[in-house]
């Protein structure tokens, strides 16, 4: 995707913010499909037969959830990815 002008800045900002949150796509034997989730950010998630399509949909869900947090003036939940999160988990192990 190529963005120009103000939309490029907004898309880059959303992408960087979205990247702070873990996005999991796993095969579910029980459901016989891929299930996408973003722990700590959204309840539920999405599912489907194509792993990439589920990830793309999940990424969009995460970006929409972040937009709603901003719109409602609510603070964002702590991120569940990145170095700080990994260090926190290491101390729990």
Q: What is the mean pLDDT of residues 12-38?
A: 89
Q: Is there a domain that residue 81 lies in?
A: no
Q: Is there a domain that residue 56 lies in?
A: yes
With 70 as the cut, is the pLDDT of residue 62 above it?
A: yes
Question: Looking at the 3D structure of the chain, how many domains does it have?
Answer: 1
- Per the document, the length of the chain is 93
pLDDT for 13 equals 57
On whether the CB atoms of residues 39 and 22 are closer than 8 A, the answer is yes
Bridge partners of 53, per DSSP, are none
CA distance 29 to 10: 38
Exposure b/e, 55-82, CB count within 10 A at least 16 = b: bebbbebbbebbeeeeeeeeeebeebee
pLDDT for 14 equals 58
Q: Is there a domain that residue 25 lies in?
A: yes
Q: Which domain holds residue 52?
A: 21-73
Q: Is there a domain that residue 68 lies in?
A: yes
pTM higher than 0.75, yes or no?
no
Q: What is the mean pLDDT of residues 19-28?
A: 95
Q: Is there a domain that residue 46 lies in?
A: yes
CA distance 68 to 62: 10
Q: Is there a domain that residue 13 lies in?
A: no
Q: Is there a domain that residue 85 lies in?
A: no
């Amino acid at each position: 995707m190529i963005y120009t002008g103000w939309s490029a800045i907004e898309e880059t900002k959303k992408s960087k913010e979205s990247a702070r949150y873990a996005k999991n796509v796993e095969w579910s034997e029980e459901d016989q499909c891929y299930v996408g989730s973003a722990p700590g950010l959204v309840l539920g998630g999405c599912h489907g037969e194509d792993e990439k399509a589920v990830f793309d949909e999940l990424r969009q869900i995460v970006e929409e959830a972040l937009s709603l947090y901003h719109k409602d003036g609510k603070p964002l939940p702590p991120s569940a990815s990145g170095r700080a999160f990994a260090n926190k988990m290491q101390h729990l192990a």
